[in-house]
Structure 1
Amino acid sequence: MDELRWILLGLGILIIAGVYGYARLQDWRRDGPPWRRRGRAQREPFAGYSEPALDDDDDDILGPARVVEPTSTPTPTPTPAPNPGDSAEPAPAAEPPSAAEPPVDELAEVRGRAVGEEKIIALSVMAPETVPYNGAGVAEVLESAGLRLTAQGVFQRTLETDDGPVALFTVANIVEPGTFDASNPGATQTPGIVLIMQLPAPFDGLAAFEMMLTTARRVAQTLGGQLLDGRRCDLTTQAIEHLREELLEYRRRARVADRRRDGAS
């Protein structure tokens, strides 16, 4: 009788161990190995990242996954003038009026600096196969997202800096030479558009990428089409997270390079 109890006890332990092992295996398949989860936890705050606002016209773009209509125009908070006796360190940015409106300083975190190796991030939006985009429709959607058609025939989202406006990202015709008719966008028919951001630049690349991603999604949702990455593959959630991870690493290396440059000067 005692031998039977020991056998049953052993079987119970084996069953419990098997259930526990199966649960851990499912966690590994879903979240990856434990030694890789730390990096994923660092990226977690950017999973729901809201695009920083450049000016009052940007209130209608509050996040990368949806578009909402503006409810009110925020009143900018004046920045107090620095005291002569204060430290030379820049004053911290004022708290945003709400969680959905990150401060402009997030985008201009490295304003005035352009440190790091060259890096290009590209996204594409392809029109449905039988319905190419009309340039007028593309212009309407992009202009509602804060972009402007330049004299060169490309759309740009710009940021004002002390040295003048700089392009956060550019939207071009996917067909060479990559331009739209600057005087009559409706004369252009295209199977798709490409959004391009180039670094180094005097702004934070990750924040600018979120704005670019929001714009690409807006075009796809409004005009129809498919989102692709720089290699013309489907822009999956994993691909987006990989790009965010790359830009976080790029930001870290740029800060290191900037500190070394300051130390050498």
Structure 2
Amino acid sequence: MITALDHVAVAVRGFEAAVDGYRRLLGREPELDPRDGAARAWFHLSNMALEVIAPSGEGPAGERVRARLEAAGEGVWICAFQVADLEAASRLLARRGLETEPVAAVTRIRAAGLDFVLTPGRIGAQPSPAIGAEAAAIPALDHVVVGTRNPERALAIYGAKFGLDLRLDRANPQWGARQLFFRLGDAVFEVGASLKAPVSDAPDRFSGLAWRAADPEALHARLAAAGFDLSQVRAGRKPGTKVFTVRDAPAGVPTIVLSAEPAPEPA
């Protein structure tokens, strides 16, 4: 039913500064799309798109962004899922007990305190042009992270109701966390819960974005030259991978960059 991650929307107050920040971070030129009282910039990547959105006038979209900013401030706002049949998928999720609302050509869903969208998808979309060499641009999103105080509720909502493909349910006392990994096309929807915090009915929250890099050291050098505050490149949790943190990502979104898993050795 849900086939892929379509896009992630980041709500911001300062549109130009946020767009410039993501332009430098991703190394790509955005597509500007002002309408319905909101300013939008789209950064298309190989496996999803990032939408930067801010209120800019009168209109339903502008009103929704203003309400979001007043309630929760800047940050990741919406996670949009691709579906092949919007009407059928919306009807099924409503029957499963999710709160659905048709809006224009999409269906909005509120679940576990978060905002989601079902959409037919960015059919035919190509990656946004790289500012310089394509090898120096970020090619894709690796995963979007959600924090929860109730992992069993997360399994029920994201697994049973949304029908996302659960690939791994892992508890690691050394890290003090339980992690649920759902596959979304060529991206991952990761849900994390602290093993030290009590289970509660508190709403879930979007906890950050993890971008892929073909060459983490080269990308680290480019971002440092562009003025970003970065951690050192370090070994990732998966053997053979490398990762670094972007401490001052636009809109305060917690952000890491990591290399893809190494290819297996040939037999």
Q: Please, what TM-score do these two structures have when normalized by structure 2?
A: 0.28
Q: Which protein has the bigger strand share?
A: 2
Higher relative contact order (CA 8 A, sep 6+): 1
For the pair shown, the structure with the greater C-alpha radius of gyration is: 1
Normalized per residue, the structure richer in helix is 1
